[in-house]
Structure 1
Amino acid sequence: EKVDRVELLASSIGKMAGQPSSVLEVAREGARLAKCDLVALMVGEFPELQGEMGAAYAIEQKIAPAVAEVIRDHYRPKGADDATATSPAAALVAIADRLDSLVGCFSIGLSPTGSADPFGLRRATLGILRTITGRFGPSGARRLPREEGRPRRERSRGEGDGLRGRATSRSLGREVPGRRRARLPGRRSREAARCPHARRCARRHR
């Protein structure tokens, strides 16, 4: 089911971002194969090779290099110093994969609390925002809460989980903007300029 959701989300986000059909097709195929290496003994022994081994297996099976790149790069960024996905298709799958995990965890109450974030949801949120701003610019990140969760929410409503879907949207609506304000360049300075107490606060912290 996760594969189906990620494929749907990647396609939906790509259309929203104005990506051509060729990119959407690569993203859809990459989403279908992105987790294929998780059952491999090599990845079971060395989890840090997930994605890398999937790309190697894909190339061995004569799958298109662009799809193999999606399999490898959709895990990026793996950390604060890691680069984001390089191709548009890989970026779409990277965003969709993390977004699906976020919605799934928030929908069953596994949201971060204080300093506790055992499932790395804040890191996933920052990964989404870094990928969006890197590939589609800051304006793309500002549309994130309104647009990207829509396919998953609509499916939830179809299964009779509309109330839970709306509660999840509200939880994400509180979490994502906070991460977004921390990431978008110039956002803090603009908010400070609008604050009537900005000068007083600046003098206090000198």
Structure 2
Amino acid sequence: MAPVGVEKKLLLGPNGPAVAAAGDLTSEEEEGQSLWSSILSEVSTRARSKLPSGKNILVFGEDGSGKTTLMTKLQGAEHGKKGRGLEYLYLSVHDEDRDDHTRCNVWILDGDLYHKGLLKFAVSAESLPETLVIFVADMSRPWTVMESLQKWASVLREHIDKMKIPPEEMRELERKFVKDFQDYIEPEEGCQGSPQRREKNLHFFFIL
């Protein structure tokens, strides 16, 4: 019987022809496939865990109540210029652990009711589920707070009613809001928290 040998293949190396065993070549191929699978899995995981985009904040309040000042502070800026009509700016959100970032759109409605028709450019039926509404009140005049809140809540309700959203969809939005509120976890002081926790909190803050 002829001796059993290891199949060998002739490869062209940097110093000329080289001989490699078929078994070694298969092992290298397996390692390459494993590496590609690992890379694809990591890319897929990062794609699923990216910070959410397309989130919006809509700000209501009387003239001089501090709407623009509040949003400017959240931007990290010292001073902001007050706009007229419907003001737009954005907040940058950065996750250092995952080296990921996103933007949150901010719309500030003028304190004059004359401009309430501009809301159609800020919030639509499609963007409503991704929108947080903030009512800003002037605490230097506490006796006006309740009246102001009722006025702007009425403006918001009027705008939402014009969207003709089916009642079942509105109930689902309300149910989701309650669930997100109940599931919200306040980050511990001095602790950044896990990326998953921060992402969950971000989703909550950007939902109406």
> TM-score, with normalisation over the residues of structure 1?
0.32
Larger Rg: 2
Structure (1/2) with the larger strand percentage: 2
Q: Output the TM-score relative to the length of structure 2.
A: 0.32
Give the structure with the higher percent helix: 1
